[in-house]
Structure formats: structure tokens, C-alpha cells
Amino acid sequence: MEDLPEALLTEILNRITTTSDLNSLSLVSKQLYRIEGNQRDAIRVGSGLCTATKALTSLCVRFPNLRKVEIDYSGWIPGHGKQLDNKGLSVFSSHCSSLIDLTLSFCSHIDDSGLGCLVNCKKLVSLRLNSTPQITSIGLFSVAVGCTSLSALHLIDCEEIDNVEWLEYLGRDGSLEELVVKNCKGINHHDFIKFGSGWMKLQKFEFERKRGRYDLLDPGNVVYDSSYDAHNMDIYDFCCESLKDLRLAHIETWPEAGLRVLLGKCKALEKLCLQYVRALNDNDIIALSRSCSNLKRISLWLNLQRYSSDVNYCETRTSFTDKSLYALALNCRMLQMIDLSFTGCDADWPSEIGFTQEGFLVLIQSCPIRVLVLNNANFFDDEGMKALSSLPHLETLELILCHAVTDAGMRFIAHTPCLSNLTLRMCHNVTDVGVAELEDAQKLESLVIESCGEVSLQAAQRVAKSVQYSSECSNALMKKIGLGGY
């Protein structure tokens, strides 16, 4: 091994991707140890890491070209040893001159002073802070000022970040291309208006408000105006024409419009996810469709809200109606993925969902849909499955709590030209008879059956090359249908 050319050894190491294999191989010889150390550009550490200054310095010397570092203490307890603190982070920041990507997760011993050490990382491009309870807006502002190459910032469950001077500074600087803020109770979605000219360069934006346990199921007492149009006047003077990926979750856009105005400004938008956003109406989707002809993916997770356009009449339903579907069908002809989820809607009250099957079919027949997810879509039945069977591009279909779909619908879907991935969750009116229709077609690559009481494992196993089967509801499914914990 020692006689092999270094270039060949380097090539061998480049082809090995598993960390444990790299660690084992580096013990074979001093030459491999040195080359592997120089080649390693990413590490993930946490519990068990020796936090002594000398040990951390040795680690950085061992891997002098680290570009990506993840420090993760999820599940940590005091018995696991000391956590990395300010002094330890200072060692990383002063020795890792090539560092461009840093993630700190559940690091409870790092505060603003430690975060301030990152100003030494002049090449730092991406910073992710996840559940860092001692970091405040002061530390974040020092990063905004000192890390001049920063283009991606993620803040998740950062409870102590409140004032947004750091956001205003980053907006003036205009360097951010990706901004994700989730479950930070001190940050309101109206604060992002202060981002100003920073919106011009931003390509990805996510904001999720920290919510309460019953937010999804309670329509509340506020009645929203279904005719209100936040896009017929220029309420906020900023431009976001570079934005391609937008996700808004659990925010209320009334009485102040706030971030709903983004829907009419994002001309380059390709991916949109709206999850339980309150007070939106058809005018928002119509404005979106007129400005976003490149839209390829849309996820609408909707719950019950109260709407009125007449002081004498109020209705409880989801935010959008067929008007939104028709606007998308007319203007967004590149849509390839649709995910529609309805929480808290009763099958005995179909009017609680603003969409009808007629409007839905107009949309999917107007676009090259490849992926379709329907969750608790009470309007969708076997006739809808018949329409799906004629979609020439449909490859992946997931149905959750679609009680109006029966074995007859499975007979139709078996003839869909390109369907290769099918998922059925809690579809209780589909039985082994319907699944057998799929066996005859012999098209499916993968089949997932979860909590469909009338479908047996034996029937599912005959249908696809890859089969996942469970008679119980997973935690992920419970959360998806709005019954999971927070």
C-alpha cells in the first residue's frame, strides 16, 4: 500500500463515502492517515467529543481542510460529558480557515460571546442554529456584521432571538440568498418587511410561526373578508423577483397583510408551500398565478376558517375555492407536483372544503402532473380516480383519508400509463379486491400501505417490487393529518 502513488490513493479515498470506512482505512498506514485527513472536508460531532482545547486543536490539525462542520447535541444528558462551549467554538473558528458551512444543534453552552468568534470565519457561507437557547439577537448581529460571505441563514427553535436589527443589517447588505426561520417566538412575520432590499437577492425563504397545540383544529372567532385583495395596491415597497422557493406556515395575515404580499411579487417562483396560513383567499392565489408562470410545485395545507363577504352571512371553510384552481390551471401550466391537505374537515359536510372535484380535475388536466398528494380530500372519489388514469405523466400518487375512493377507483388507477409509486394511508374503503387490480397491471415499483384496515399484507406483497406495509398509524402520519404532537 505504501508503494502506491499518492494520486491513486487519493482517488481510492474519494470513492469511499462512509465515514466509518474512511476511519478504518486511515489506520492502515501513516500515508493513508495523512491523505485521508487532508481529504476530509466534513465532520459531524456531538456527545462524546473531547472538549479540551488541546484535543480540539489536534482534531483541527488532523483535518486541516474542513469546509463543513456539524455540532449536534440532540439527546444529550450530563452523563454524556461536557458540551462544546464558547472556548471550543473559538478553536474551530480560528483553526478551520476553509470553513464555509456550520451547524449548531442543541448547543446549550454556547452563547453570544462564542457566536461572535465566527467573525474569524471569513469564508463562512451557511450558518444553521437549531435549539441554541443562550444565543440572542446580539450574537446574531455580530455574525451579520462580521461574516461578510454569509448567504444562507437558518434559525430553528431559537427562543431568545427577538429584535431584528440583524435582519435589517442583512437586508441592507443584500448578500443572503437563503433565509429560514422556524418556531422562534420572538420573531413575527411582519418583521421581515424590515428586510427591505435584501428581498431582491433572496432565492429561498421559509417562515413558520411557533404555534399552539390546537391551532390547526380551532377556526377561531375572527371572521376574515373573502373579498379582500392585498395585491391591488403596493402596500410594501420591496422587490423579490429572485425568489424561487417560498414556504409560509401558521401565520395570520390579517388585519395587516404582512407576508401575503409576497404571493403577488415572486415572478421567478418555482416552489410554494402554504401551511395553515390564516386569512388568505382566492385573490392571493389569483395574484400568484398571474406573476408565477414558472411554478412547478405547490403544497396547500388548509384548515377551517371563518369567511364572509357580506355582513349578514358567514361560512366556515378552507381558504380557497375553485376560483383559485381555475387561475392556476390557466396561468401555471408547468405545475408538476400538487399536495393538497385538509385538516378538521368532516366528510358529512363537503362544503367545508372550498374545492370541488370539478375544479380539481380542471387543474390536473391542464398541467403535466407527475406527483399528486391528497389528504382528507372529501370531494375526491372513484370518478376522480378515473380522471387520474388518463394523466400521461403521473408517476407518484399518495392518498390519505380519502374515504370516497373504493375498489372501483383502484381498477381505474391501475391503467395510469406512467404510475410507478402508490401510497395509501387510512383509505378504509379500499380492500384486497382493489389491490388485486394493481397486481394485474404489473406497473408499480413501490407500494406503501399504512393503516388501511381492509388491505392485507399478503395482497400488498404481490403488487410491487418494493412494498412497505403497516396496520398501524405512524407518528408521521398522525402529524400529517393534524393529530400529532407538537
Q: What is the pLDDT of residues 344-385, one digit of tens each?
A: 999 888 899 999 999 999 999 999 999 999 999 999 999 999
- Whether 6 shows a pLDDT value over 80: the answer reads no
pLDDT for residue 275: 96
Whether 473 is covered by a domain: the verdict is no
Residue ending a domain, choose from 181, 211, 241? 211
Question: Across the chain, what does the average pLDDT equal?
Answer: 89
pLDDT for residue 174: 84
Distance of CA 189 to the CA centre of its chain: 17
Residue ending a domain, choose from 211, 241, 274? 211
Whether 116 is covered by a domain: the verdict is yes
Residue range 145-149: mean pLDDT, rounded: 94
How many angstroms separate the CA atoms of 138 and 135, rounded? Answer: 8
How many angstroms separate the CA atoms of 84 and 236, rounded? Answer: 43
Whether 17 is covered by a domain: the verdict is yes
Domain co-membership, 153 together with 31 = no
How many angstroms separate the CA atoms of 398 and 338, rounded? Answer: 11
pTM comes to 0.90
Beta strands 271-275 and 421-425 are unpaired
Residue 100 and residue 68 in contact, taking contact as beta carbons nearer than 8 Å: yes
Domain co-membership, 29 together with 87 = no
- Whether 137 shows a pLDDT value over 90: the answer reads yes
pLDDT for residue 483: 60
Domain co-membership, 77 together with 197 = yes
How sure is the predictor about 440, in pLDDT bands with cuts at 50, 70 and 90? Answer: confident
- Whether 51 shows a pLDDT value over 90: the answer reads no
- Residue 351, class by beta-carbon neighbours within 10 Å (0-12 exposed, 13-18 middle, 19+ buried)? exposed
- Give residue 200's identity as a one-letter amino acid code: M
Residue 37 and residue 63 in contact, taking contact as beta carbons nearer than 8 Å: yes
Domain co-membership, 24 together with 54 = no
> Which cell goes with 197?
432590499
Domain co-membership, 178 together with 59 = yes
- Gyration radius from the chain CA atoms: 26
How many angstroms separate the CA atoms of 174 and 201, rounded? Answer: 7
Whether 292 is covered by a domain: the verdict is no
Residue range 102-113: mean pLDDT, rounded: 96
- Per-residue exposure over 296-315, b if at least 16 CB sit within 10 Å of its own CB, e if not: bbbbbbbbbbbbeeeeeeee
Q: Look up the domain containing 30 and give its range.
A: 1-39
Whether 149 is covered by a domain: the verdict is yes
CATH number at residue 24: 1.20.1280
pLDDT for residue 486: 39
Domain co-membership, 75 together with 17 = no
